Structure 1
Amino acid sequence: MPGPLPALIVVDVQSAFDEWEAAGKRRNNPDAVARIADLLKAFRTRGAPIFHIRHEGTRPTSSFLPENSGYAVKDEAREEPGEPVIVKRVNSAFIGTDLEQRLRAGNITTLVICGATTNHCVETTTRMAGNLGFDASLVRDATWTFDRIGLDGDQHSAEAIHAMTLSNLNGEFARIVTADDVIASFAAE
C-alpha cells in the first residue's frame, strides 16, 4: 500500500519579481513559472496536497508589502479552492507559520519545493525542511534567482548563484530534481 502523497510547496511566486525584472534586474530560468504551472497541474490531477507560500514584507521599502502590487500572486501559480495559503514574514516558510504542524497533521513526510528565489526563501525553506526531517526534493527548473553584486563588487550571474545554491543543498538537505522527474514519478506509481 503506497504511503501518503508528497506535498508541493510553492514559495513566493509573486508579482514583485516581475516588477524587479521590468526594472532591469536579470534572472535565470525564464521558464520556471511554466514549470511551476506544470507541477501544480500534476499535483492537482493526482489529488496531492499543495501549500502556497506568500512573502509579506515588513520593511517600508519592501516590494512585498500587502498593499503593493508586488504582493499579488502570479496568475500561473494562483491557488484553487481548498489549497492553503501560508503567509510568512521571513525567508523560511517554517518560521512564524503553521506549515510544519499542517504537514505533520497530514502525515506528510515528502516535500517537493519550487518557487522564488533559489538562494533566499527557497533555499532557507529547503534547508529547514531537511533539518526538520522531511524528505525534500527541490525542483531546479521550477525556481529562479537574480544577478547580484558581491561583497568585493564582483558581478555574480543568476546562473552561477542558482547552480551554487543547488550544489550546497544537494544530498544533505534535499535531492535536486526537474519538474519532469517529479511528474514522471507520479506516472510510475
Structure 2
Amino acid sequence: MDITQNTALVVIDVQQGFEDPFWGNRNNPSADDNIAVLIDAWQSAGRPVVFVRHDSEETWSPLRPGQSGNDFKPYVEDRRGKSGSREVLVSKLVNSAFYGTPDLDAWLKASDITQFAVVGIQTNMCVETTARMGGNLGYQVILPLDATHTFDLKGPFGWQRSGDDLSRATAVSLHGGRFAEVTTTEELLKAARTARD
C-alpha cells in the first residue's frame, strides 16, 4: 500500500453520543485506541486531517446539537486544532461526509488530495457510505477496519446481525467491490512511515 504526504485522514463521527446504551452492543473495543494512534501519526507528520461530526435533526438521536452526545469524544476533542490549515471540521446531517458543510469534495480538491483513509463510527453506516462515495468520486480510499466500530442491528424478516458480522460485510463489499482498500491500523501506520513525497 502506498500513501503520500498529502493523504488525508477522515475521522467520522467519533462522538460521545455513541457511548449511549441506546445503540446496543458494540464491536471492536480497540477502535478508539487505533483512531487516536492514527490521528497522532497524521498530525505529527503534518498530513491533512478531516474531523466529521454528525449533527442529527432526529428528536430521538443522542447526536443532536445542544446535547452532550453531539460533542466529540474527549480524546478526539483534545487532538482538534493541532493540524492548522491542514485541518477542517465537516458538519453533516446524513451518512455521507460528502454531503456536509463545508463541502468535503471541494476542500479535498482545493488541497490537491486524491487519497484518504477513513476511520470512525459506524463501520457499516457513515464510514461505509463515505468510503463508497469517495470511491465513486475517484478518490483512492483506504479503510483500516480495526479503526472503526459499529453495533448489532436488526433488519427485515427477523434478521439480526452482530457488529462483527456487519463489519466483515462492509469490508468484503468495499474491498471486493473496489470502493476502498481494506487494511489494518498497523499496516496503514507502516505505509505512513515510508510514505513518498
Query: Please, what TM-score do these two structures have when normalized by structure 1?
Result: 0.93
Number of residue pairs matched by the alignment: 186
1:4 is displaced (CA, Å) by 4.9
Percent of aligned pairs with the same amino acid: 39
Q: 1:94 matched to which residue of 2?
A: 98
Q: 1:15 matched to which residue of 2?
A: 16
Q: 2:146 aligns with which of 126, 141, 156?
A: 141
Separation (CA, whole Å) in 1 of partners of 2:116 and 2:23: 33
The unaligned stretches of length 5 or more in structure 2 are none
Secondary structure of the residue aligned to 2:63 is coil
1:24 is displaced (CA, Å) by 7.1
Secondary structure of the residue aligned to 2:158 is coil
Separation (CA, whole Å) in 2 of partners of 1:32 and 1:26: 14
Is this contact kept in 2: 1:146–1:158, CA < 8 A? Answer: yes
1:80 is displaced (CA, Å) by 2.3
1:24-71 residue CA offsets vs partner (Å, 9 max, x unmatched): 711111010100000001101110000000000011222111111110
Letter in 1 for 2:194: A
Is this contact kept in 2: 1:34–1:76, CA < 8 A? Answer: no
Letter in 1 for 2:140: D
1:3 is displaced (CA, Å) by 5.5
Of stretches 54-63 and 131-140 in structure 1, the one that deviates more from structure 2 is 54-63
Q: 1:108 matched to which residue of 2?
A: 113
Distance 1:40 1:24, change over 3 A: closer
Query: Please, what TM-score do these two structures have when normalized by structure 2?
Result: 0.90
Q: 2:89 matched to which residue of 1?
A: 85
Separation (CA, whole Å) in 2 of partners of 1:183 and 1:139: 10
Separation (CA, whole Å) in 2 of partners of 1:53 and 1:36: 13
The alignment yields a C-alpha RMSD, in angstroms, of: 1.5
